[in-house]
Structures are given as structure tokens and as C-alpha cells.
């Protein structure tokens, strides 16, 4: 076994002897760095946030905030992280810490280290256009980014960067004011200078301690051989799902294979026929690289959990769980997506509509990995993603619907509707689609189709919503989509 180390706040720390299920949060606190806090242990509160040095598209580095409570500590082998302690100290506060103090952005302080790390990552975001250190902040200075509802401050700070951080006592206005008062990083800032250098190279990891083995293979071929030889191995990428199982349900896995850093699974390519998204490419990277070129996904991403989760979570992981309430399946079903599955024996391509076979069951064999998702081109002209949940952001959906329609000369020429949360699996609303194709795109047609849509699936009642509510939401979603297309058509014709 080679040396297992992680760089924390500029110092190399060994990981030897730590159990394979231990999270980065628990390891940090046991190592004398208690700044990161455990609030929920589910990735919902952000009190444990830390920054990790990740590779940017141009070969430099980007500070990426993640939930330390969900990351297996061995996934940080060879990597570089910064915690709240590494931002600044009492005698030398970091600009983020200084602005939070000046604005009164902390009361009990439990959530503050997580806020500081998420805010610092946005402070260093290369795309942020700062207005200067002393820019005034007034009510109304922020602008909203259309459907995504991003609130962009006068200094270019995207307030949505803090969507995964919760505060129970301070109130968000002082925290927002602190964020909007930040200027550009100075030239003598070591964390800013670090961004111009390459991120730490990914290292292959193979560690076995009492009770478990953790392996990060160097290549996809090696990963496929491992799952062929060990079909019961647990496959993790972002670990945003398995991390919850470890923390809340006490689940343990004797053999973990981490595929999060495999280059073969982290690509994004566009051809004349399709857009291909690597299964292990974090959702935030997918969003940034696509740049809105797949509008339906651009509408989905801000509603998928929080930025902290999207910085680790992947499309492959969201589909791999087979969950009926995952957010990506309804949108990808509407986009008529296909999955590329690979084993040591070769690859096969499966329509997503045929992928789910039962509750958390799929056609993927134990010796297969999801390699990529392919979205065929051209894209539908009219798309929408509707998520019904108790909270608008950072919540599990009660119902999720993806729409992708083509409308020519006032008639529906193609219609695809993906549904989540209304059956044991995500599904296509095929009966409703057939009722729409070839019909005039009118309120009369939509009302008739809405009645059919309400009968699609087999919605159940649970603590999130009743079956009657779920059915009603399906019908009202189609009416809402109709009104959105009418507005879009008027904007285009104007």
C-alpha cells in the first residue's frame, strides 16, 4: 500500500489506518480541525462545507465547495482541501470572514464556517466580475437570471452559490450583504495565486483496512475488471447518495470502487447527432460546460438539490440508484436520452425509457457501469422542467415533469413527457403524448390531454404528497407548460 495522504490547509496529512467508511468531516474533526460542523449529516445544511482544489477546463485550478459529511475520506487521497481554519485566523481574517463580521452575519456561529467556505469559493470563481472592494450594496442592486432565478449581486456574486447553506438564527440578509460587499481577490492572496497552477493529479488508490477495501482505479478498463471480478462491489462517484446511507443508516460496504476521477467518464462532447455527457462528470461541471445549449437541462440544474451537492453529484449516480424520484430522469426521458453501458466484454446502448424495470431496479447488470448519457439532436423547440416540492430549492420532489415539444403551424408535431414521483419508476407519459401529436396546440387540446396526464402512472400517498395531489399536479403542469409556450411564441414573433 502506498502512502495515503491529503493536503489540508497547505499541510500534508496521512490517512493510514482510517476505516473506509469514514467521511472527510469525521476525519477532519478527529484530526483537530473542528471548524467544519455536522448539522444534518445528509448534505442539506452546509455546516460541514470545505473547499477542494479541482481541475478547471483550461488546466488551472478551481476552488470547489463540497459537503465534507458525504465525501469518503479516501476519495481525497492525493487531493488538496481548505477548511474554514485555512481561510484565515483571528489575527488575519480572510476577506470573506471580515465581511461576515462587519455585516453581523453570524450569531451562534455553528453554520458560519460552512457559509465562509461556500462564499470563499464563489469569491474566487474565475467567471465572477467584481465591482471592487468598496462597492455600495443597496436593496435592488441584485439582478435575477430568468428561469434559473439566480440572484446576481452588484459585484457579480451569485447568491445561489449559498443555496446549500442553512442558517437558523442569523437571518439571511446580513449574510447576503456580506457576500455583496466582497470585491476582487488581491494579488497577494495565496488562495487566489493557487488557482493559476494545475490541480493535484489524480492518484490511483488501493487501501485495505479492517472491515473494508477502498479502490480508485486508474483507468476505466481496470474499473470494469474490478466490477467483473467483484460484482457486489459498491460503485461510488460523488457519494451524495451513499454518504447519506453511511451517516443516517449506518450502512457499510466491504468493497468500494470509486470512479469519480476516471477521465473516460468525465467528458462532454457534442457531435452533429448527439450531446454526450460523461456519467461521472459533476453536475456543476455539466452545467458550466453546456452553457445553456441544452435548455431543458439548464432549467433543471438550479432545481437539483444545491450547489454543494451538484459539485459532487453526477448524472450517472442519479440514474444508477434507480430512484423513482431522481430529478434527472424526467428531463432526460423528455429529451429521448440513451445510456451507454459498459462491461469488460464491451459496450451497449440502451434507451432510457427501457432502462428502469422496477422500484430501484434497472437493466444494468452488476458487471456494468454507466459510461455516458447521449441526448439526440436536434433538440425540441419548446421545453420545460417542473418540480413540485415543499421547498423551491434543495428539496426532494413530490412530482417532477420534463416537457419537450415541437409545434409547427399551430399543431403538435412531436411530444415527449417524462415523469418522476408518480410510479415505482420514472416513466414516459405515452398516452398523453399520443393524445397530443397531430392535434392543434390549443387550450381545448391541452385540457383534454391534461385529463389523460392525470391518469398516467400509479401515484401513491406519503409524507410528501397525497396521490390525489400528485395526479392534480400532473394536469396543472401541462396547462402551465401551455401558457409558457404561448409566451415564448409571442416573444419570438415580436
- Is residue 274 packed enough to be buried (19+ CB in 10 Å), middle (13-18) or exposed (0-12)? middle
Give the whole-number percent of the chain exceeding pLDDT 70. Answer: 94
How far is residue 302 CA from its own chain's centroid? 9
Q: Where are the alpha helices (DSSP H) in 202-314?
A: 220-229, 242-249, 283-290, 295-300, 307-310
Which part of the chain has CATH 3.30.390.50? 382-493
Cβ atoms of 236 and 230 closer than 8 Å: no
DSSP tally for the chain: helices H, then strands E? 16, 22
pLDDT tens for 433-459 read 999 999 999 999 999 999 999 999 999
More confident residue, 391 or 484: 484
CA–CA separation, 370 and 339 (whole Å): 7
In the predicted model, what is the mean pLDDT of residues 178-207?
A: 94
Would you tell me which CATH number, out of the four given (2.60.40.10, 3.40.980.10, 3.30.70.260, 3.30.465.10), belongs to the domain 266-376? 3.30.465.10
Question: Which runs of E-coded beta strand occur in 345-467?
Answer: 346-351, 356-358, 361-362, 369-376, 382-388, 399-408, 411-420, 427-428
Q: Kindly report the pTM of this predicted structure.
A: 0.94
Q: Where are the alpha helices (DSSP H) in 312-440?
A: 315-320, 328-334, 430-436
Which part of the chain has CATH 3.30.465.10? 266-376
CA–CA separation, 128 and 135 (whole Å): 15
The single-letter DSSP state of residue 197 is S
Provide the pLDDT confidence category of residue 80 given band limits of 50, 70 and 90: very high
Q: Which residues pair with 429 in a beta bridge?
A: none
Predicted pLDDT at 393 = 79
Predicted pLDDT at 38 = 96
Count the Cβ atoms, other than its own, within 10 Å of residue 54.
19
Cβ atoms of 123 and 95 closer than 8 Å: yes
Class for domain 1-200, per CATH? alpha beta
In the predicted model, what is the mean pLDDT of residues 402-415?
A: 97
Look at the domain 382-493 and name its fold. Enolase-like; domain 1 (3.30.390)
The answer to whether residue 248 scores a pLDDT higher than 90 is yes
Provide the pLDDT confidence category of residue 309 given band limits of 50, 70 and 90: very high
Which part of the chain has CATH 3.10.20.30? 1-200
The answer to whether residue 131 scores a pLDDT higher than 70 is no
Of 123-132, 305-314, 352-361, 444-453, least confident by mean pLDDT is 123-132
pLDDT tens for 12-61 read 999 878 999 999 999 999 999 999 999 999 999 999 999 999 999 899 99
Three-state SS at 13: strand
Amino acid at each position: 500500500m502506498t502512502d495515503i495522504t491529503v493536503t489540508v490547509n497547505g499541510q500534508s496529512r496521512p490517512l493510514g489506518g482510517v476505516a473506509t467508511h469514514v467521511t472527510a468531516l469525521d476525519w477532519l474533526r478527529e484530526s483537530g480541525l473542528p471548524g467544519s460542523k455536522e448539522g444534518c449529516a445528509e448534505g442539506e445544511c452546509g455546516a460541514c462545507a470545505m473547499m477542494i482544489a479541482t481541475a478547471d477546463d483550461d488546466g488551472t485550478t478551481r476552488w470547489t465547495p463540497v459537503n465534507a459529511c458525504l465525501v469518503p475520506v479516501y476519495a481525497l487521497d492525493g487531493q488538496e482541501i481548505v477548511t474554514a481554519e485555512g481561510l484565515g485566523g483571528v489575527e488575519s481574517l480572510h476577506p470573506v470572514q471580515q465581511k461576515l463580521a462587519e455585516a453581523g452575519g453570524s450569531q451562534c456561529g455553528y453554520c458560519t464556517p460552512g457559509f465562509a467556505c461556500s462564499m470563499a469559493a464563489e469569491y474566487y470563481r474565475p467567471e465572477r466580475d467584481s465591482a471592487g472592494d468598496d462597492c455600495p450594496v443597496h436593496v435592488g442592486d441584485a439582478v435575477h437570471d430568468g428561469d434559473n432565478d439566480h440572484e446576481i449581486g452588484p459585484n457579480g456574486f451569485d447568491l445561489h452559490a449559498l443555496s446549500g447553506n442553512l442558517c437558523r438564527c442569523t437571518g439571511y440578509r446580513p449574510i447576503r450583504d456580506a457576500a455583496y460587499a466582497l470585491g476582487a481577490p488581491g494579488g497577494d492572496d495565496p488562495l487566489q495565486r493557487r488557482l493559476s497552477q494545475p490541480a493535484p493529479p489524480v492518484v490511483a488508490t488501493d487501501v485495505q483496512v479492517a472491515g473494508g477495501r477502498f479502490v480508485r482505479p486508474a483507468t476505466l478498463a481496470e474499473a470494469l475488471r474490478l466490477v467483473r471480478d467483484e460484482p457486489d462491489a459498491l460503485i461510488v462517484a460523488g457519494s451524495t447518495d451513499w454518504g447519506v446511507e453511511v451517516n443516517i443508516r449506518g450502512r457499510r460496504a466491504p468493497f468500494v470502487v470509486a470512479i469519480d476521477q476516471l477521465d473516460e467518464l468525465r467528458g462532454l462532447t457534442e457531435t452533429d447527432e448527439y450531446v454526450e455527457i460523461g456519467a461521472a462528470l459533476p453536475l456543476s461541471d455539466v452545467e458550466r460546460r453546456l452553457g445553456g445549449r441544452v435548455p431543458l437541462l439548464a432549467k433543471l440544474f438550479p432545481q437539483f438539490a444545491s450547489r454543494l451537492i451538484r459539485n459532487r453529484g453526477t448524472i450517472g449516480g442519479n440514474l444508477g440508484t434507480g430512484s423513482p424520484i431522481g430529478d434527472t430522469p424526467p428531463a432526460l426521458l423528455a429529451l429521448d436520452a440513451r445510456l451507454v453501458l459498459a462491461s469488460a466484454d464491451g459496450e451497449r446502448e440502451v434507451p432510457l425509457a427501457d432502462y428502469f424495470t422496477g422500484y430501484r431496479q434497472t437493466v444494468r447488470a452488476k458487471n456494468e457501469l454507466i459510461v455516458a448519457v447521449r441526448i439526440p439532436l436536434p433538440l425540441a423547440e419548446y421545453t420545460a422542467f417542473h418540480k413540485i416540492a415543499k421547498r423551491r430549492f434543495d428539496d426532494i420532489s413530490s412530482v417532477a415533469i420534463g416537457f419537450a415539444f415541437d409545434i409547427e403551424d399551430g399543431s403538435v408535431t412531436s411530444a415527449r413527457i417524462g415523469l418522476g414521483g408518480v410510479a415505482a419508476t420514472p416513466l414516459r407519459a405515452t398516452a398523453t403524448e399520443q393524445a397530443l401529436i397531430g392535434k392543434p396546440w390549443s387550450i381545448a387540446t391541452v385540457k383534454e390531454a391534461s385529463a389523460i396526464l392525470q391518469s398516467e402512472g400509479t401515484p401513491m400517498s406519503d409524507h410528501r404528497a397525497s396521490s390525489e395531489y400528485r395526479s392534480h399536479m400532473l394536469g396543472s403542469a401541462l396547462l402551465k407548460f401551455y401558457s409558457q409556450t404561448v409566451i415564448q411564441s409571442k416573444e419570438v414573433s415580436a
